[in-house]
């Protein structure tokens, strides 16, 4: 079954996504196990990122300095990469690396 | 399994990098504001009745600083007159957008706003400068000019103090950069919460101990209106090695940032070590460790069609001066025009700067 989640990029992170901040996405069903943030990052890199992927992902996680919120809570409280996505989850990525 | 706030029973929304505590939204707002208040009180940053200019770029740090200072000024009755002060470098498509954000902040926070431009101060916008010097050394011009511009604008407004939004991450980064460059003089100064206190216009950093993560989270949960982009002339400037290094360290151990600041504060220079003496520029009166300050040298280069002047080694400047090719007039005309108004006060008011 497809999983629909909303993604939001801000704080300058949207510049890597054609300046589009809000994305409603349908993730295809995974054969082996649930969708986690770790899988989502790979999916974002392959399907949404428009430029300079190294400014968003580093190894299998987000680049240090990008904050992640899962349903308006710090991902550090939610299991980070291992958090299992649920339908209608809202994941926000905020860059702290951009200046004013 | 939502994590509960360490202070009340509500759902936690943030893990604090400094302490590892989980807090709910309201407890986080409170802790954030109270820590800034404590920093202000412990360092005795302000006195009642002072006029304080907030260096406002429209970015996250200065936006959150303006909001927090306004809140604390009301909550604790600091009796400060707060003013937003912005520098317009004259970069089309970058600064004009961020200045729109500052103008909205002016309305939202009901604070007066003054915008001072490179054009009026120096006779050149950054767009003009880039046309002359290209994209290689333009950041040198911008950086040097910005330091003076904020002071200059603050003096026009006759304020008592300037506050900037430099946060803990910025300061840790500066400590690392000064160590890597072996710049002992700056290393000694860069962790000071107030600089230039011996002159008439001190600068201070109320966010000295505030983590960037918390500033961004505060702005997010308070829905503050800020502007974030990359400067069009230096798309990768934020990828500085020190910055990446600090963020990598934070990911491993969040307390590293505060630890680096602490190390910087503890660093002492032996008494017998000779540090460059800060004097004043013979042309404009601004604080400088050289006879002529960097801004005057750069401006002379622009005005004489020698844009590389001031980029290379200082001895080249001296040679050209000896040959009578530069500094033939006694002062930079543009500077004089603007600075005559408060002649003499520049030398006394010049503030020391770190960044």
Do residue B310 and residue B203 come from a single domain?
A: no
Q: In terms of CATH architecture, what is A3-95?
A: Roll (3.10)
Query: Is B214 a domain residue?
Result: yes
Query: Is B291 a domain residue?
Result: yes
Residue B170 annotated as part of some ligand binding site:
yes
Do residue B317 and residue B262 come from a single domain?
A: no
Q: To the nearest whole percent, how much of chain B has pLDDT over 90?
A: 50
Residue-number span of the structural domain to which B175 is assigned:
14-266
pLDDT at B336: 43
Do residue B257 and residue B335 come from a single domain?
A: no
pLDDT at B330: 59
The answer to whether B2 contacts chain A (CB < 8 Å) is: yes
Does A99 sit within 8 Å of B213, measured CB to CB? no
β B81-88/B113-117 pair status: parallel
- ipTM score: 0.95
Q: Checking phi first, is residue B77 left (phi over 0); if not, alpha (psi -120 to 50) or beta?
A: left
Question: Whole-angstrom Cα distance, residue B296 to residue B298?
Answer: 6
Query: Is B4 a domain residue?
Result: no
Nearest to A100 among B2, B217, B228 (CB): B228
Domain boundaries, chain A: 3-95
Do residue B134 and residue B200 come from a single domain?
A: yes
Number of domains composing chain B? 2
The answer to whether A74 contacts chain B (CB < 8 Å) is: yes
Do residue B316 and residue B190 come from a single domain?
A: no
Q: pLDDT tier at B201 (50, 70, 90 boundaries)? A: confident
Do residue B97 and residue B229 come from a single domain?
A: yes
State pLDDT tens for residues B150-197: 988 898 899 999 999 999 999 999 999 888 888 888 888 889 999 876
pLDDT at B137: 79
Do residue B114 and residue B198 come from a single domain?
A: yes
Res. B282: pLDDT tops 90: no
Question: Whole-angstrom Cα distance, residue B293 to residue B355?
Answer: 15
Question: Whole-angstrom Cα distance, residue B22 to residue A98?
Answer: 26
State pLDDT tens for residues B205-235: 999 999 999 999 999 999 998 988 777 776 5
What is the mean predicted confidence (pLDDT) over B88-115?
90
Query: Is B300 a domain residue?
Result: yes
Does B15 sit within 8 Å of A77, measured CB to CB? yes
Question: Whole-angstrom Cα distance, residue B21 to residue B56?
Answer: 31
Question: Whole-angstrom Cα distance, residue B66 to residue B62?
Answer: 6
Dihedral angle of Cα B346, B333, B315, B185, to the nearest 10 degrees:
20
pLDDT at B147: 80
What is the mean predicted confidence (pLDDT) over B9-28?
95
Last residue of a domain, one of B266, B298, B323: B266
Per-chain mean pLDDT for chain B:
85
Query: Is B35 a domain residue?
Result: yes
Radius of gyration from C-alpha coordinates of chain A: 13
Query: How many other C-beta atoms are found inside a 10 Å radius of the C-beta of residue A65?
Result: 25
Query: Is B5 a domain residue?
Result: no
What is the mean predicted confidence (pLDDT) over B123-140?
87
The C-alpha angle with vertex B280 and arms to B276 and B284, in degrees rounded to 5, equals: 145
Q: pLDDT tier at B239 (50, 70, 90 boundaries)? A: very low
The answer to whether A71 contacts chain B (CB < 8 Å) is: no
Q: pLDDT tier at B334 (50, 70, 90 boundaries)? A: low
Question: Whole-angstrom Cα distance, residue B57 to residue B165?
Answer: 9
Q: Name the token pair of B273.
A: 């070590």
Question: Whole-angstrom Cα distance, residue B194 to residue B248?
Answer: 28
Query: Is B60 a domain residue?
Result: yes
Question: Whole-angstrom Cα distance, residue B86 to residue B103?
Answer: 10
Do residue B327 and residue B226 come from a single domain?
A: no
Question: Whole-angstrom Cα distance, residue A64 to residue B247?
Answer: 5
| Continuous H helices in chain B | 25-42, 60-75, 95-109, 118-122, 126-133, 138-156, 168-181, 184-189, 212-222, 241-252, 256-266, 294-303, 314-322, 333-339, 345-349
Do residue B158 and residue B41 come from a single domain?
A: yes
pLDDT at B200: 62
Query: Is B50 a domain residue?
Result: yes
pLDDT at B138: 81
Do residue B194 and residue B262 come from a single domain?
A: yes
Indicate the SS3 state at residue A43.
helix
């Amino acid at each position: 079954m497809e999983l629909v989640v909303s993604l939001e990029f801000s704080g300058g992170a949207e510049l890597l996504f054609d300046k589009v901040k809000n994305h409603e996405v349908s993730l295809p069903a995974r054969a082996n196990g649930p969708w986690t943030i770790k899988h989502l990052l790979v999916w974002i890199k392959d399907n949404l990122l428009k430029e300079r992927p190294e400014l968003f992902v580093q190894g299998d996680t987000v680049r240090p300095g990008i904050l992640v919120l899962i349903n308006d809570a710090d991902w550090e409280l939610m299991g980070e990469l291992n958090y299992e996505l649920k339908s209608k989850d809202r994941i926000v990525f905020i860059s702290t690396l951009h200046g004013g | 399994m939502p994590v509960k706030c360490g202070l009340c029973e509500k759902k936690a929304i943030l893990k604090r990098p400094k302490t590892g505590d989980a807090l709910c939204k309201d407890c986080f707002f409170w802790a954030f504001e109270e820590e800034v208040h404590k920093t202000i009180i412990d360092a005795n940053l302000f006195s009642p009745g002072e006029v304080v200019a907030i260096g406002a770029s429209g970015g996250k740090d200065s936006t959150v600083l303006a909001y927090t200072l306004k809140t604390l000024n009301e909550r604790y009755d600091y009796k400060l007159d707060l003013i937003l002060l912005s520098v317009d470098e004259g970069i089309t498509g970058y600064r004009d957008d961020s200045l729109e954000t500052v103008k909205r902040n002016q309305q939202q926070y009901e604070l007066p706003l003054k915008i001072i431009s490179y054009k009026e101060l120096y006779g050149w916008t950054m767009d003009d400068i880039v046309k002359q010097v290209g994209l290689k050394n333009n950041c040198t011009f911008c950086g040097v000019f910005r330091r003076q511009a904020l002071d200059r604008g603050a003096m026009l407004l006759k304020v008592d103090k300037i506050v900037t939004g430099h946060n803990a991450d910025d300061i840790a980064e500066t400590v690392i950069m000064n160590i890597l460059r072996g710049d002992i003089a700056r290393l000694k100064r860069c962790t000071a919460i107030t600089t230039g206190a011996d002159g008439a216009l001190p600068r201070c950093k109320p966010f000295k101990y505030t983590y960037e993560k918390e500033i961004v989270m505060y702005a997010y949960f308070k829905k503050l209106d800020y502007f974030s982009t990359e400067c069009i002339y230096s798309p990768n400037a934020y990828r500085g090695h020190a910055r990446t290094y600090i963020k990598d360290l934070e990911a491993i151990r969040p307390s590293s940032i505060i630890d680096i600041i602490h190390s910087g504060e503890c660093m002492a220079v032996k008494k017998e070590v000779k540090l460059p003496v800060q004097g004043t520029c013979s042309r404009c009166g601004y604080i400088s460790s050289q006879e002529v300050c960097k801004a005057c040298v750069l401006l002379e280069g622009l005005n004489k069609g020698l844009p590389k002047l001031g980029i290379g080694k200082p001895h080249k400047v001296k040679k050209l001066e000896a040959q009578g090719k530069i500094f033939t007039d006694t002062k930079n005309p543009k500077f004089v025009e603007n600075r005559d108004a408060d002649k003499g006060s520049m030398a006394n008011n010049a503030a020391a700067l770190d960044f």
